[in-house]
Amino acid sequence: MHPVRKQRLLVVLFILGFSTLAVGLVAYGLRGNINLFFPPADIVAGKAPLGQPIRMGGMVVEGSVIRSEDSLRVQFDVTDYAATVTAVYVGILPDLFAEGQGVVTAGVLDGQGVLQASEVLAKHDENYMPPEVAEALQKSAGAGS
């Protein structure tokens, strides 16, 4: 093999190996930070992983909000009209959080099927619904018919 060709081949192999290593490291680093979205029906069906960060969305069930008197702990139920999951959040809820309104919660599902929420996102006006929540509600409404 000609020395120039051999040098080009080594450069190409080095670039290919370095690129593969970089993509692998990025994928490894991101795998722990992925939050998958699950509607309550999928969580109740056991499709959501326990102990890993997930997002859940739906409507806050009327009359389900229980606020602690001595801390910032709030417990509420979220439904997609097919199933209901309880969420517990410790912190200050968004101003627009209310019963009967759309919500997306991010957190970790415990062994009892309760979402230990680390973040609660409420809709920002009366017409907005997060796309994942709207899709999940549409699917569950279609399945219930």
- Alpha-carbon gap, residue 121 to 94, rounded angstroms: 7
First to last CA, the chain: 71
- Alpha-carbon gap, residue 136 to 47, rounded angstroms: 14
110 and 49 in one domain? yes
Total domains, the chain: 2
- Tally of CB atoms within 10 A around 12: 10
Convert 115-145 to b/e letters by CB count within 10 Å (16 or more is b). bebeebbbbeeeeebbebbeebbebbeeeee
- 139: CATH: 2.40.50.140
Q: Output the pTM of the full model.
A: 0.67
Query: pLDDT averaged over the chain?
Result: 86
Domain containing 121: what range? Answer: 35-144
Percent of the chain's residues with pLDDT above 90: 48
117 and 107 in one domain? yes
pLDDT of residue 50: 87
Are 87 and 73 spatial neighbours (Cβ–Cβ below 8 Å)? Answer: no
Q: What is the pLDDT of residues 65-122, one digit of tens each?
A: 999 999 999 999 999 989 999 999 999 998 888 888 889 999 999 888 899 999 999 8
